[in-house]
Amino acid sequence: GLNSNYPFRYIYNYYKIVKNFDLRQIADVMVKLNYPQVEYEIALEFLTSDFYHDIYENEPYKLWAFFAENIYLIDQALGFAPLQILSRLESVIKILQLFPTIPAKYVAYLIELALGGSKPVRYAAQHALRQIPNIHNQVEQALSSSKQEVRIAAANWLAELGQTSSIKALNAALKKEKRETVQAAILVALEKMGEDISQHLTAKKLLADAQKGVKGKMPTELDWFDFNLIPSLTWQNGDKVDSQIIQWWICLAVKLNDPANPLLTLYNQLLSPQSQQQLGEFILQSFIKQDTLSPSLEEAEAKAGLEANMRLQQYIRYYKRYPNLYPHYNNITYEQVFDEIKKETLAIYLGSAIKAKGILALTCGIEGQIAVSLLSSFMKNHYQRRAQIEAMLEPLANSDDPMIIQLLLSLARRYRTASIQEKARHLVESIAERSGWTTDELADRTISTAGLDDNGLLILDYGERTFTASLDDKFKWQLKNADGEKIKALPEARKSENPELVKEAKKQFSNSKKELSQLLTMQISRFYEAMCAERQWRVEDWQKYLQPHPIVGRLIQRLVWLELDNNGQIVNSFRPTEDGGLITNQDDEILLDQNHFITVAHSALISSDDTAQWQAHLEDYKVNPLFEQFGALLSDMSKFKDGIIDDRLGWLTDSFTLRDVLKKLGYERDNSEDGGYFYSYYKYFNSLNIYINIEFSGSMLPEEKIPAVLYNLYFSNKKGFKDSAIALDKLPKVLLAEGYANYRAVANASSGFDPNWKDKLIW
């Protein structure tokens, strides 16, 4: 496929060529083919993106040897020589990282970047320099730099390197340091390295720091903040906290400008648990109030009153002039226009608190229920304020409250904005790491119960009377009064009852309803993913976290499970029953071996006899399965090459039918290319980091009903990256069977194979 008229990186099968050969070999062939500027041609892709660097993880010499022989390319890319090639610093650093040792002439410059580059460049440079012996000695010298950003970067980097010999240098730097932001970074570094910093955290020392701090100028980012409303707080030992200390922490937080700053987290933990909750709630509410300030209803109506007439006349003129373009203005009324202006005005933001996002670091001790309710409502009504949402979520990763962890987990699974979903994923990973759990274990251990106790009851207390709510077999709520009689809704408070308590009980019930519906959708999709990934639970964990759970314990009764021994061999297939027993498809009761494992059953894992018996069993017992476990069969896949399944290529349908079938199966539309065209749908499995991709002839946005031809199915670690399709025999059998069944489902909804399918393509 090499052709000297065609840029190297656009050739067919580029990925495979690069993967299988040393770049020097490719260069030799290109020279023979009279390619112009061969070295630049090859280098360009590696100097401008790091998409392909990871191919060489096991054979780095295939990449670095080429650059070692053409070192002038790196000189130019790093600005050591006049530039003839555009490059991206992180990509160049990644190339140097693959060298057995980094050429000496670049080390000083890399250190400079590692202490002062942009965040991605800084991390890339620090990562590359890890291989330099005693690099910490050079970083320690940077603690006395005249630039405060460099001193902060040096302290953070030393904490990463973790050499205990650096503690001395950090302590010496702390004594001399005048800037609070740098002092904070050094204290955090010392704490991370295991040094006892309690002498810097006594109430006396904190008060002295605060008195010095509040003498300075207040940060202008806090002009809106009312310090007089700060609740009075206590330390862990019950003593009262001087209000100047909290005032100073808030100012320092704004200066540090980091919503999860570790020093403020340490400070916050010095307060009593109740004070942490009070402070957290106060800060979060103040932040949200400032960030969502909008005109009042009176102001919006006044504005509408002033402008509605003019706008109405304008709309009528539009209609008269262009009736085809503006048919909706034909019968428009004054009321409609008034309402439109009122709504627009109410949606205007008068302020923003994002410049003070650092204060959110003091919300890390907030109570779970309150945080979830404030954040859920903010995310629903102000979802376009992405930076604010990310900043509010960040400090919550330091919390151990199950409700907060559950919120982060649900966002990590699905949220309308990709960047927030990504942020939540990182936060969940940090929680799991701190607790030594895998993300899946973390998810199992923190499944909310929607307020139900171990007996499956939600007790609603009115003081004089109590009511109970529980779930029927269809997961619908049932309310009963104290005599056990069913009632339709919670009654109003009696005169003799405390209205606050009644309001609280009603709120609790409404929260539980919301929580339940989220929980059901989320857990069902989790079990489906676990089935496809062939996830294994330790028997002990399954019996401790899933089986007794008041909601999940009932969901797992609607699935068939397999017990596996330590070699992964199937010992039993079974289904949990309502009374806590486990039965086989022959109705025998079994007990599980505590040293074994459990996985979700699937027709790709058990014999066809077993499958048939289970299908009959589920029908006899009228079990309504959570999802189909025995529908997708694993056929012979050896006929497909390069991980691409295409035995339904050329089956004809239309763009809407294709979309509807795939959306129902949980697929999402791939990103659209220039002009709004897209050519595939995908389903992502987070625990495997695998995408199932189904390609077709394409559609464009906004979508219209056009002929669509089904192409192929493949699995990859990067979305829509066909060149690196995973070999089918490397995939979990269940995932392969399910993906293939999804592909076949599209074909089955089509009008069948069309021998002239190529003529049906629109473009």
Same domain, 319 and 264: no
- Shared-domain flag, residues 513 and 426: no
Residue type (1 letter), 499 = P
Output the six-digit token pair for 377. Answer: 């409502």
Please give the pLDDT value at position 560: 98
Cα atoms found within 13 Å of the Cα of residue 331, Cβ hemisphere only: 0
Ranking 235-249, 266-280, 347-361, 634-648 by mean pLDDT, the lowest is 634-648
pLDDT of residue 52: 67
pLDDT at 761: 83
Shared-domain flag, residues 148 and 20:
yes
Confidence band for 10, pLDDT divided at 50, 70 and 90: low
Count other Cβ atoms within 10 Å, centred on residue 38: 20
Provide the 10 A C-beta neighbour count for residue 703: 13
Classify residue 529: in a domain, yes or no.
Answer: no
Closest among 626, 627, 630 to 616, alpha carbons compared: 630
Average pLDDT, the chain: 90
Domain match, 340 and 356 both: no
Query: If DSSP codes are grouped into helix, strand and coil, which group holds residue 171?
Result: helix
Please give the full DSSP string across 384-447, using - where no structure is assigned. Answer: T-HHHHHHHHGGGGG---HHHHHHHHHHHH--SSHHHHHHHHHHHHHHHHHHT--HHHHHHHT-
CA–CA distances in Å: residue 406 to residues 314, 443, 511, 626, 700 = 50, 7, 14, 21, 37
Strand order in the sheet with 651-654: 651-654, 707-716, 690-700, 677-685, 668-669
pLDDT higher at 206 or 671: 206
* Strand ranges in 234-293 using DSSP code E only, listed in sequence order: none
Which tens digit of pLDDT belongs to each residue from 127-178?
Answer: 999 888 899 999 999 999 999 999 999 999 999 998 999 999 999 999 999 8
Q: Which of 400, 415, 445 is the last residue of a domain?
A: 445
Give mean pLDDT, residues 249-259: 95
Residues 144 and 175 grouped into a single domain: yes
* Residues 414, 420, 424, 427, Cα dihedral to 10°: 170
Torsion of CA 130, 135, 136, 140, to 10 degrees: -130
Residues 6+ apart with CB under 8 A from 736: 604, 634, 637, 715, 728
DSSP state of 629: S
Q: Specify if 198 maps to a domain.
A: no
Res 691 pLDDT > 60: yes
* Residue 12 predicted with pLDDT over 60: no
Using CA atoms, how far apart are residues 604 and 741, in angstroms rounded to an integer?
Answer: 12
Of 445, 480, 502, the residue at which a domain comes to its end is: 445
pLDDT surpasses 60 at 294: yes
Q: Per-residue pLDDT for 254 more than 80?
A: yes
Residue 88, CA distances (Å) to 43, 47, 95 in order:
12, 6, 11
Same domain flag for 436 and 319: no
- What is the predicted pLDDT for the residue at 8? 67
Same domain for 141 and 34?
Answer: yes
Angle at 240 between CA 239 and CA 246, to 5 degrees: 130
Lowest-confidence segment of 242-251, 392-401, 729-738 by average pLDDT? 392-401
Q: Is residue 71 part of a domain?
A: yes
Q: What pLDDT shows up at residue 37? A: 85
**C-alpha–C-alpha distance, residues 157 and 536, integer Å:** 38
State the SS3 of 349-363. CCCCCHHHHHHHHHH
Question: Domain with 114 in it: what CATH number?
Answer: 1.25.10
Indicate whether 762 pLDDT > 80: no
Instruction: Work out the pLDDT band at 288, boundaries 50, 70, 90.
Output: very high
List of E strands, 239-293: none
Residue 646 lies in a domain: no
pLDDT exceeds 60 at position 457: yes
Residue 630 lies in a domain: no
What is the mean predicted confidence (pLDDT) over 205-210? 93
Asked whether 561 and 555 are in contact (CB, 8 A), the reply is no
On whether residue 419 sits in a domain, the answer given is yes
SS3 276: helix
User: Would 638 be classed as within a structural domain?
Assistant: no
- CATH at 733: 3.30.310
- The count of structural domains within the chain is 6
Owner of token pair 């589920």: 618
- Among 250-254, 445-449, 544-548, whose mean pLDDT is lowest? 445-449
Whether residue 326 sits in one domain with residue 363: no
Q: Please give the residue range of the domain that contains residue 608.
A: 534-620
Tell me the pLDDT band of 414, cut-offs 50, 70 and 90. Answer: low
CB count within 10 Å of CB 512 equals 20
Which pLDDT band, with edges at 50, 70 and 90, does 7 fall under? low
CA distances from 58 to 44, 54, 180 (A): 22, 9, 45
Residue 229: band (very low, low, confident or very high) from pLDDT cuts 50, 70, 90: very high
Nearest Cα residue to 94 out of 36, 49, 139: 49
pLDDT at position 282: 98
Same-domain pairing of 503 and 542: no
* 553 contact partners, CB below 8 Å, separation of at least 6: 546, 547, 576
Specify the higher pLDDT residue, 45 or 271.
Answer: 271
Q: How far is CA 503 from CA 191, 239, 462, 463, 519, in A?
A: 45, 33, 9, 12, 24
Same domain, 374 and 236: yes
Q: 285 with 397, same domain?
A: yes
Question: Does residue 628 form part of some domain?
Answer: no
Q: For residue 344, what are its two tokens? A: 């627009």
Query: Is residue 87 domain-shared with residue 115, that is, in the same domain?
Result: yes
How far, in whole angstroms, is CA 1 from its chain's centroid?
Answer: 40
| Residue where a domain terminates, one of 578, 601, 620 | 620
What is the structure's pLDDT at 673? 72
The amino acid present at 186, given as its one-letter code, is I
Mean local confidence (pLDDT), 438-467? 85
C-alpha gyration radius of the chain = 31
Is pLDDT of 647 > 70?
yes
User: How far, CA to CA in Å, does 182 sit from each of 177, 326, 394, 533?
Assistant: 7, 60, 21, 46
Identify the weakest region by mean pLDDT among 111-115, 234-238, 471-475, 560-564.
471-475
Q: What is the pLDDT of residue 384?
A: 83
